[in-house]
Structure 1
C-alpha cells in the first residue's frame, strides 16, 4: 500500500473518531438537558404525593391544609374566576416591571456619566429600598388612591433598586483598554455607550430583570392587600377571612404559575439575546 493511501486511511479513521466523539457529546448534552427538566418535575410530583398521603394518614382538616387533589378540583371549578382576578394583577405587575426598570436604567446611565448625581442620590435610593413594602403600600394608596396606580407604583419600586445597582455596575465595569481602543477608533460618546458600555451591561441587566420578574408580582399582590376589590391579592385576603383554604391554595398556585412564567420569558429572552456572551450559562 502506498504512503498516500495509508495517510488517507488514517485521516478517514480520525474523522470517524471525531464524528463518534461529537455524537457522544451531543447525546450527553441532550441527556443532561432532559435531566434538568425532568428532575424538578419529579421532585414536585413527589412532594405532592407525600402531601396527599399525609393529609389522609393524619386526617388533616381541609381548612388547615387541603389535599392537592382538593386544590386541583377548585382550580378546575373556579378557573374562570381565578383568571379574571389574575388579569388586574398581571397588568399591575407588568406595568410596574416596565416602569421601574426603565427608570432604573435611565438613572444608572446618569450615575455613570455624572458621579456627583450618584453620590447625592444613591444613598436616597438605598434608604427608600430599606423601607418594607408593607410600609410603603399604605403611603402610596393615600397618595395615589385606591385604583391600579399604587399597585403599579409598588411593583415599580420593588423592581427599581436591584436593576439600578446591577445596571450601574455593568455600565461602569468596562476596562480602560477597551475605552482607549474606542478613543483610538474615534468613536463618538454615543457609540461608546451603545457598542461598549450597554453591551457589557446586558448580562448584569438580565440578572436583575429575572429578579424583578418575580418581585414585581409580589409587589402587585402586596399592594392589593392594602385595598382592592379584584386581583390575586384581594382574592387571597377574601379566602383567608372566609377560611376557604382550598381557594386560598388555588389562588397561590395561580399567582406562582404566573410569576414562574414571567421569569421563564425573561430567561428565554436572555438566552436569545446573549448568545455572544461566552460566560453565559445555557
Structure 2
C-alpha cells in the first residue's frame, strides 16, 4: 500500500497569489484615481486615508470589534448545533423532513431588513437579538449541506453494513455522517461569510456597541473614511474566520485529502 504524501504548503500558498495581486492592483488604481481626480475625501476617501483612520481610531475600532466577534461566534455556534441536531432528526425521520423542510425554506425568504427590527424590539439591545439573527441567517446553508451530504452516501456501503447486522444508528455513524462531512464544511464556509454581515446588520438596527454602531455613527457624521475603516475590519474578520474554517476542514478531513492525492 502506497503511503499518502501530505500536500505541500507551497502549493496552497501559490493559489492565493493571484487573488492578492488582484486586490493590490485594485487598491492601487483606487489610490491613483483619488489623487489624480481631486475628488473630495468626503465623497471617496483614498485607501491611504482609510488606513490612516484605522490607525488613528484603533482604540475605538478595537472596542467595537470585540462585541461583533462575540455576537458572530455565539450566533454561529448556536447555528451549528441547531443545524446538526435538525439534520439528524430529518435524516432519521423522513416524514418530519417532508413536514419541516418547507418551513425552513420559507424562513430564508423573510427579509432581514424587516425581521431584524422586530427581533431587537422583542429581545432588546443586548447580545440575544444579534445571536438569534446570526443563527437565523447561517442555519439554512449548513442544514442543506448536511442533508445533501447524508443523501450522498454510497448505497453499497449502506447495504454492506445492513447485511452485517448494523443498526440505523451504526449506519449513520459509520457511513452517512462521514459522507456528509465534506458537504458540511462547504456549508460552514458559506455560512461563516454571512455570520459577520448578519451581526453587523443587527448592530446597525439596534445595539450599544459593535462595528455596526461605528458605521452608523460615521455615516451620520459624514465620515466615509471611518465607514470604510470599519468595513475593512469586518472584511478582515470574515476572511480570518473563513481561513480558520478551511484550516479545520483540512485537519479534520485529512483522510479525504490523502485519498484524493493517491
Q: Tell me what 1:277 maps to.
A: 256
Alpha-carbon shift at residue 34 of structure 1 (Å): 4.3
Whether the 8 Å CA contact 2:64–2:209 is kept in 1: the answer is yes
Structure 2 counterparts to residues 1-282 of structure 1, below 5 A:
32-277=11-256
Displacement of 1:31 in angstroms is 6.6
1:121-159 deviations in whole A, cap 9, x for unaligned? Answer: 111111111011111101211221221111110000001
Distance verdict in 2 for CA 1:91–1:178, change over 3 Å: same
Query: How far, CA to CA, are the matches of 1:55 and 1:262 in structure 2?
Result: 31
Aligned structure 1 segments of 4 or more residues deviating by more than 6 angstroms? none
Structure 1: gaps (5+ residues): 1-25
Quote the RMSD (CA, aligned, Å).
Answer: 1.8
In 2: Cα distance, 1:109 partner to 1:102 partner: 11
**Per-residue deviation, 1:238:** 0.6
Distance in structure 2 (CA, Å) of the matches to 1:138 and 1:68: 33
Structure 2 unpaired stretches of 5+: 1-6
Q: Residue 92 of structure 1 contacts residue 148 of structure 1 at CA under 8 Å; is this kept in 2? A: yes
Conservation of the 8 A alpha-carbon contact between 2:68 and 2:199: yes
Q: Give distance in 1, aligned partners of 2:248 and 2:16.
A: 18
Given that 2:126 and 2:207 are in contact with CA atoms closer than 8 Å, whether structure 1 keeps it comes out as: yes
Matched residue, 2:3: none
Q: Conserved in 1, the CA contact under 8 Å of 2:125 and 2:208? A: no
Query: 2: distance between equivalents of 1:178 and 1:37?
Result: 37
Q: CA deviation at 1:33?
A: 4.1
Taking structure 2 as the reference length, the TM-score comes to 0.92
Segment of structure 1 superposing worse, 210-219 or 42-51: 42-51
What TM-score, normalized to structure 1? 0.85
Distance 2:9 2:72 in 1: 35
Shift of 1:75: 0.9
Pairs aligned (count):
254
Instruction: Give the structure with higher Rg (CA).
Output: 1
Higher relative contact order (CA 8 A, sep 6+): 2
